[in-house]
Amino acid sequence: MVTIATLGSHCALQVLKGAKDEGFKTLLLCEKKRERLYRRFKFIDKLILVDTFLELVEKKCETVLQENNSILIPHGTMIAQMNSEQIESIKTPIFGNKYILRWESDRMLKEQLMKEAKLDVPKSIASPKEIDRLVIAKRHGAAGGKGYFIASNEQDYNKKRDLLIKKGIINGDNDLYIQEYHSGVLAYLQYFYSPVKNELEFFGIDKRHESDIEGLSRIPAENQLNSNKVPSFNVIANSPLVLRESLLDNVYAMGENFIEASANLVPPGMNGPFCIEGVYDENAQFKAFEFSARIVAGTNIFMNGSPYTTLIYDEPMSMGRRIAREIKHATVENKIKNIVT
Residues of the shown chain interacting with ligand AMP in the complex, contacts defined by CB under 6 A: 122, 136, 138, 145, 148, 179-182, 186, 208, 210, 233, 277, 279, 289-290
Q: Is the peptide bond before 212 cis (omega within 30 degrees of 0)?
A: yes
Beta-bridged to residue 136, according to DSSP, are: 150, 179
Query: What are the helix (H) ranges across the chain?
Result: 12-21, 35-39, 59-67, 76-81, 84-88, 100-105, 107-116, 154-166, 213-216, 221-226, 248-265, 307-312, 319-332, 336-339
Report whether 69 contacts 93 (CB < 8 A): no
Report the 3 state secondary structure along 250-270: HHHHHHHHHHHHHHHHCCCCC
Q: How far is the CB of 244 from ligand AMP (least distance, A)?
A: 20
CB-nearer residue toward ligand AMP: 217 or 226? 217
CA distance 201 to 334: 22
For 173, the 3-state DSSP assignment is helix
Among 280, 274, 279, smallest CA distance to 257 is for: 274
Q: How far is the CB of 232 from ligand AMP (least distance, A)?
A: 9
Contact 25, 4 (CB under 8 A): yes
Nearest distance, CB of residue 257 and ligand AMP, angstroms: 19
- Taking the complex as a whole, how short is the minimal distance between the CB of residue 122 and ligand AMP, in angstroms? 4
Of the pair 68, 179, the CB lying nearest ligand AMP is at 179
Check: CB of residue 68 under 8 Å from CB of residue 27: yes
Closest CB to ligand AMP among residues 92, 179: 179
Residue (282 or 314) nearer to ligand AMP, CB: 282
Helix (H) or strand (E) holding 142: none
Task: Give me the least distance between CB of 79 and ligand AMP, in Å please.
Answer: 11
When the beta carbons of 46 and 207 are compared against ligand AMP, the nearer one is 207
At closest approach, how far in Å is the CB of 187 from ligand AMP? 10
The CA distance from 206 to 191, in Å, is 12
In the complex, what is the shortest distance from the CB of residue 135 to ligand AMP, in angstroms, rounded to a whole number?
A: 8
Start-to-end CA span in the chain (Å): 19
Of 31 and 290, which CB lies nearer to ligand AMP in the complex structure?
290
